[in-house]
Structure 1
Amino acid sequence: MTGRLVFVLALTCGITVGNLYFPQVVSPLVASGLGVAPTAAALVVTVAQLGYAVGVFFLVPLGDRVPYRTLVVALLGLTSVFLLVAGTATALPALVVGGGLAGVTTVAAPLVAPMVAGMVVPERRGAVTGTVLSGSIGGMLLSRAFGGVLGEGLGWRAPYLLAAGLCAVAAVVLARLLPSSAAPSRQRYPALVAESVRLLWAEAALRRSCLNQACVFGGFSAVWTAVALLLTGGRYGLDARAVGALALVNAVTMLCTPVAGRFADRRGPDVVNAVCFGAVLVAAAVLALGALGGAVGLGALVVGTLLLDVAMQSGMVANQVRIFALGPEVRSRLNTAYMTCAFLSGAAGSWAATALPGWPWVCTLVATLAAVAWLSAARRRGRAPAGRR
């Protein structure tokens, strides 16, 4: 695992994760370009997210059955084709189908994480996983900004076509850089898919990681759904570009995840999780000040979302270090169960943000979820034998 390969894998994760987020900013341009209603154009966002959930559950387990180089390169190639279909669509149905299929196949990031875990020594697993994850964070944060600028200047097709080209280049590069490897498992595909559910039932460490991330990611999703409503509402009266600028501020998170990974290597993932739960509680208190409006409220939103982002992403590194230590032959299936739980919780958090009566209630939800995770961890430490604490 060379530094060059780590960099390319992190960049690949950023490219593929970005495919899920740039449609959020180009959907209004799609509406005007194809002459459809904005609500109809928003389907491009919905189908991409739904497609990703399907891909995580049904394709990521193949990482334990198919050699990683073959699988990752093939999925990148398919994603490039589907994005090209979307970018050249002349009607909304073709765009929705192309974008949805691209969402299904753009699952390189959850495949790369277990692959990397198997290519480095355990003492470096957290640090390298954190570095690769920082690429995903960059894609999540930066794709919306660049997608908006590119779409405004060249039209809504430009981000799709650029993303298709980037995925094709990544496929070619990784076909040359990734080492060949044997598949770690010979199980049949239906058994691989069912195994993710069985592992969730059987492995206490996996359930612990899923609970940790579900609590934190649910609150994270609730905040980022509600903050757009808050900033564009009467309290602040800003436009959607303010939400994108807030996301760019949080790009500093990319620098924190490798640090969290090294800390997890030295002190263990439980310590990192405990710090993250405390950070989320502090973030909820700071974010509550956002209801004040004005400069004070805006500053609170910047600090609070930054703290929440750092805690969520650092906790993800710690949780993945824990689950990847359970067995090299099942890492993709472990990550499938973990990511599925996280995204289900994130969807529930986004729904809750629109159902709750106001911003203070969203902050209360974030604090409550963090408290649940912290209390669960405290009870587990209390039950553990003295030698295992």
Structure 2
Amino acid sequence: MPAAPTPAPAPTLGRRLILLLAVACGTAVANVYFPQAVVPLIAKSLHVTPGSAAIVVTCAQLGYAAGIFLLVPLGDRLPHRRLITWLLLVTSAGLVLAGTATGLAALAAASALVGAATVVPQVIIPMAAGLTEPERRGAVTGTLLSGLIGGILLARTFSGTLGQWLGWRAPYLIAAGLVLLLALAMATALPTTSPTTDQRYPALLAESLRLLRAEPLLRRSCLYQALVFAGFSAAWTALALLVTGPRYHLGTSAVGVIALVGAASMFATPAAGRRIDRSGPDRVNLACMLGAVAAAALLLTGLLGGAAGLVGLGAGMLLLDVAMQSGQVANQSRIFALRPDARARLNTAYMTCAFLGGSVGSWLGVRAYGALGWGGVCALVALLAGLALVRHLLARPWGPAPQPAAPPAPPAAAPTGREDGVPAAR
């Protein structure tokens, strides 16, 4: 394959830029999650059942999975600034379409479009990994994921509160304006980067599948996150049905309050990243899987009702959020070390699998709640996390963290400007 043109030395990621990228991750990904809190309001407004209205959440996550597979590989092929700006503009347009939809089918289609375009965090995170020294990569990834977590959890507070007072359309339309502002900020603040490959688009897509077949550690990371994220999505999708149902008789703002408690998990991922930098990702994965199983047991207290049940739900969701997001840091740190020249394509395979798991989890969560109630949802979360835990124990990854083979040194006449062999940004 022809080598990309030799770029100038890479710009450094300063603290302010890292914080801006963390905010961008949170603002973008929030658009996939805030519909979870307003499903009951959508159902009432559009005269459908809550189970039918939950298709909006499923379509957003399926769209996100499709966007990861179809669009994130372009992060290795196109300049990041242009790609990210255009994705945000399309996201803003999709949110306007969703906020003005008059039927469930139109809303579901707009949600799928929003999900597909709002994959900006999955472009930003590999970009930042390529611009960061290996010894800081886990900490920087953890910081970006803390912003992403804040967006996921505060999105439910944002939409639940606004939906309660202004109706379900308000979160969509306000989010459209915020994303438009973010697009303008990214167009001016992002550094100019050079592609790491000149492969044609079909070859990029095929490469993600090839990496999934060729890299056992990638497959293992995908399985871990798909299972734990499925349980996470099942719990959050069913939570809105629980707290607005006959056991609690609360509004959608209550979902936002529980999510606000869970937002404390955003402080856990930087610590998880530093731990991974010291001792590798496998021990962090083990702790996260055990935490997810414990969270399922704690969430059972939601059956108590009243204040005690709400406290148990808040604590259980917080623990589940910490487990899922810290496991994400561990998994991405593992896969980004495999092929420095293909981080976007590795992330494509990984996140596609993760969000397919999340989409299935949302669907299963609604079905489990309808058939078995909240106890069935908790059992589903425990089962999924337990499967991941068994697979991890069978892998016996308790030696030193595996180190990928070093990429071949560049020719003396054409230095890359980077120690890890990745073409540096212009």
Q: What's the C-alpha RMSD, in Å, of the aligned pairs? A: 2.8
**Bigger CA drift: 42-51 or 160-169?**
42-51
**Distance across 1 between alignment mates of 2:73 and 2:291:** 33
Structure 1 equivalent of residue 328 of structure 2: 316
Cα distance, 1:111–1:291 mapped onto 2, change above 3 Å = same
- The match for 1:366 among 370, 381, 389 is 381
Structure 1 equivalent of residue 65 of structure 2: 53
**Distance across 1 between alignment mates of 2:228 and 2:201:** 31
Q: Does 1:337 align with 2:352?
A: no
Deviations 1:344-372 (A, max 9, x none): 22222233333332333333333333332
For 1:361, the aligned partner's letter is: G
Deviations 1:261-303 (A, max 9, x none): 1111111111110111121222222223333334433332222
- The match for 2:133 among 110, 118, 121 is 121
For 1:215, the aligned partner's letter is: L
Cα distance, 1:287–1:322 mapped onto 2, change above 3 Å = same
**Distance across 2 between alignment mates of 1:251 and 1:195:** 36
For 2:280, the aligned partner's letter is: G
Please show how residues 87-236 of structure 1 align to structure 2 within 5 Å. Answer: 87=99, 97-151=109-163, 153=165, 156-236=168-248
Q: CA deviation at 1:183?
A: 0.5
**Bigger CA drift: 299-308 or 349-358?**
349-358
Structure 1 equivalent of residue 79 of structure 2: 67
For 2:388, the aligned partner's letter is: A
**With structure 1 as the length reference, what TM-score do the two structures score?**
0.89
Which secondary structure does the structure 1 equivalent of 2:131 belong to?
coil
**Distance across 1 between alignment mates of 2:292 and 2:38:** 31
Q: CA deviation at 1:175?
A: 2.0
Q: 2:36–2:237: 8 Å Cα contact kept in structure 1?
A: no
- The match for 1:290 among 296, 302, 320 is 302
Structure 1 equivalent of residue 47 of structure 2: 37
**Distance across 2 between alignment mates of 1:90 and 1:385:** 56
Deviations 1:174-211 (A, max 9, x none): 22221111111111111111222211111011011111
For 1:288, the aligned partner's letter is: L
Q: 1:27–1:38: 8 Å Cα contact kept in structure 2?
A: no
Q: 2:99–2:173: 8 Å Cα contact kept in structure 1?
A: yes
**Distance across 1 between alignment mates of 2:150 and 2:257:** 14
**Distance across 2 between alignment mates of 1:314 and 1:162:** 30
For 2:375, the aligned partner's letter is: P
Q: 1:28–1:38: 8 Å Cα contact kept in structure 2?
A: no
**Distance across 1 between alignment mates of 2:58 and 2:379:** 27
**Distance across 2 between alignment mates of 1:303 and 1:126:** 27
- The match for 1:3 among 11, 15, 20 is 15
Flag the structure with more relative contact order, 1 or 2, with Cα contacts below 8 A and sequence separation at least 6. Answer: 2
- The match for 2:33 among 21, 39, 45 is 21
For 1:248, the aligned partner's letter is: L
Please show how residues 299-314 of structure 1 align to structure 2 within 5 Å. Answer: 299-314=311-326
Which secondary structure does the structure 1 equivalent of 2:67 belong to?
helix
Cα distance, 1:144–1:38 mapped onto 2, change above 3 Å = farther
Structure 1 equivalent of residue 408 of structure 2: none
What is the aligned residue count? 386
**With structure 2 as the length reference, what TM-score do the two structures score?**
0.81
